[in-house]
A and B are shown apart, each in its own frame.
Chain A
Amino acid sequence: DVVMTQSPLSLPVTLGQPASISCRSSQSLVYSDGNTYLNWFQQRPGQSPRRLIYKVSKRDSGVPDRFSGTGSGTDFTLKISRVEAEDVGVYYCMESIHWPTFGQGTKVEIK
């Protein structure tokens, strides 16, 4: 089974400052079609998860451009260029090439 490992698990950030979350998979997420199926989700307090990023770096519709995804193979990063108050919540990476599997989650809070 694929294991998704995120770090850090808690991320206190200052408003307006950048933030970065790492995700590592135990197996390659590159599919035979050449795509890499790594997603990032945001879950604000009391809300359902919402996908932000798919295929490593593609933003879903309506996602602010301060969110960006990078990486390849087994190592991936979600970056927030300037954290805003509405970004508070838990962020999950999720692989969708095998059985969809989430990371443990990273809690982003404002210092």
Chain B
Amino acid sequence: EVQLVESGGGLVQPGESLRLSCAASGFMFSSFWMSWVRQAPGKGPEWVANIKEDGSEEYYVDSVKGRFTIFRDNANNLLYLQMNSLRVDDTAMYYCARDPNTVPYYWGQGTLVTVAS
């Protein structure tokens, strides 16, 4: 059974950092692009970052460039999102997801990040 299990969310103050993790199982993790997607309360999803199978390429939505870093550990089937200089508008549920152009498609249950003073 394929699983994507996110962790690491929590309540932080503006300017602080968090590292999210996603543990993948049930598929060949190192063979797929992986992504982080977020959804602010009451809003639609927003793609945050993508990383290539071997970690050699990364892409980010403009609003997080220079603050967030996506990286992966293929030996342990883990995906990460390092989030620095967090802002109130980064508050969202953060989901780990596989390349959207794959079949079947997998998306985790999410970890909640709340940025508030």
Residues of A at the B interface (CB closer than 8 Å) are 37, 39, 41, 48-51, 54, 58, 60-61, 90, 92, 94, 96, 99-105
Contact = CB atoms under 8 A, between A and B. Distances in A.
B110 A48 contact: yes
A22 B59 CA distance: 29
Contacts, number: 46
A48 B107 contact: yes
Interface residues of B, number: 19
A88 B59 CA distance: 34
Contact of B61 (A41, A92, A99, A103): A99
A50 B61 contact: no
B44 A103 contact: yes
14 contacts: A39-B100, A41-B45, A51-B107, A54-B100, A54-B101, A90-B44, A94-B100, A100-B37, A100-B47, A102-B44, A102-B46, A103-B44, A104-B44, A105-B44
Given A94-B100, A96-B100, A101 B105 contact: no
Nearest to A99: B47
Interface string B12-44: 000000000000000000000001010100001
